[in-house]
Copies of this chain bind each other. A is one copy, B any other.
Amino acid sequence: MAIPVPVSPLAAPLPELPPLAGVRLSAAAAGIRYQGRTDAVLMEVAAGSTAAGVFTSNKCPGAPVDWCRAALKGGKARMVVVNAGNANVFTGKAGRDACAATAAAAAKLAGCPAKQVFVASTGVIGEVLPHEKLVAALPGLQEGLSETNWEAAARGIMTTDTFPKAATRVAQIGDMPVRITGIAKGSGMIAPDMATMLCFVFTDAKIPADALQTLLSKGVGGTFNATTVDSDTSTSDTVLLFATGQAKHPRVPPADGNAARNRFLADFARKLEEVLLELALKVVRDGEGAQKLVKIDVTGAVTARSAKRIGMAVANSPLVKTAIAGEDANWGRIVMAVGKAGEPADRDLLSIGVGGVWMAKDGAVVPSYDEAPVVAHMKGREVEIAIDLGLGRGKATVWTCDLTHGYIDINGSYRS
């Protein structure tokens, strides 16, 4: 079913992933859709672990997203069950039943309430998930749980991803080191049918669920939510963050001491954002047909929110993305995309730069600009675009990839 796609030229290697206290993982071949590869992943976190999550803004979310949203209200986690090949989206009551049955079976194995089991699915949409295959695989998955199975888990959640995606950092909390490790799959919409972006991040820090949720919600703004491959928001996007509490750092200050808590978690927040950004950029690097990673810095907008909207309008413009694929520093298309964003912009104050060279300033081309370094920059794997609105102090950075024949090949073929 899947089209053989070569590994992305932008692929990033898997980092070394040491054990993280309180996390065990395993992967197995449950035969849900793919043959001859792992497609089911179980992730166990220590009793007492807290959880946070952010989910797709799509109004037609998959059944697993509904399940996770409800489960998250408890703030506690023990198990995560993930399958690849079937997204369990738009499957009605059968989809809800599949989530409940899977969670119940995993809960029984773990000896925990079903609401401490999180489920996620990725793959084809609109087909009923054969959850009995997943349930049947659970005992074997539990037996296989190990602290060292990070790569197996990162591979087991892939659909047509061309490389596994993980990131890890060490942060300081109260002078004690804690680790943050995450895995992710997807590239916006990389599967031939309907893909999903899934990301699971773990830490051994001991952080209350409300603080964890605040950190995650804030962290995705400038990372996952600042990237786009093709503007199509999946029905299954899910980022879950679990804290096992196994590290020996001092207690996190209570929520009513917000300033103290923020100071206490400042390094953790920074490193969490680094992990999220590295994972998000790995997803973009595996964007369908991507040949170039594109960074867009917007400055001088009226607000940060306005800057981000302008950046996303540029990042989602098919004309900008095809120009980048053609290695054409076509700043006119960038002007167009800035203007169509619907945000405050004044043509005669606008500046556009590529690869560090300002090509257009104050509403007209820079007469003396040297095209040679710009052309050389465009031929590289990473392209940097700078946009200054000249209006205020709002700024934002967003990332995307180019739009190539590969995207049409992957998405224009019949499902099976």
A residues whose Cβ falls under 8 Å from a Cβ of B: 57-61, 89-95, 124-127, 189, 193-194, 230-235, 316-319, 322-323, 325-328, 330-333, 335-348, 350, 360, 362-365, 403-405, 407-408, 411-415
With A92-B348, A94-B364, A363-B92: A336-B58 Cβ-Cβ less than 8 Å: yes
A404 to B403 Cα, complex, angstroms = 12
Q: Top 10 A-B pairs ranked by shortest CB distance?
A: A125-B332, A60-B339, A92-B364, A322-B411, A58-B339, A233-B340, A326-B412, A60-B347, A59-B345, A59-B339
Given contacts A60-B335, A126-B332, A330-B415, 8 further A-B contacts (CB under 8 A): A90-B360, A90-B364, A91-B364, A92-B348, A92-B362, A125-B335, A233-B336, A408-B408
Q: Smallest Cβ distance from A300 to chain B, in angstroms? A: 14
Name A94's closest neighbour in chain B (CB-CB). Answer: B364
A367 to B350 Cα, complex, angstroms = 54
Chain B residues with CB under 8 Å of A405's CB are 405, 408, 412
Q: Smallest Cβ distance from A331 to chain B, in angstroms? A: 7
Chain B residues with CB under 8 Å of A333's CB are 125, 193-194, 232
Name A124's closest neighbour in chain B (CB-CB). Answer: B332
With A126-B365, A342-B59: A411-B318 Cβ-Cβ less than 8 Å: yes
Does the CB pair A363–B90 fall under 8 Å?
yes
Chain B residues with CB under 8 Å of A58's CB are 336, 339-340
Identify A232's interface contact among B193, B194, B318, CB under 8 A.
B318
Chain B residues with CB under 8 Å of A59's CB are 338-347
23 residue pairs A–B, Cβ–Cβ below 8 Å: A59-B340, A59-B346, A60-B339, A92-B362, A95-B364, A124-B332, A126-B364, A126-B365, A127-B365, A193-B333, A231-B318, A232-B317, A233-B336, A233-B339, A234-B336, A235-B336, A235-B339, A318-B318, A323-B412, A325-B408, A326-B412, A327-B414, A403-B408
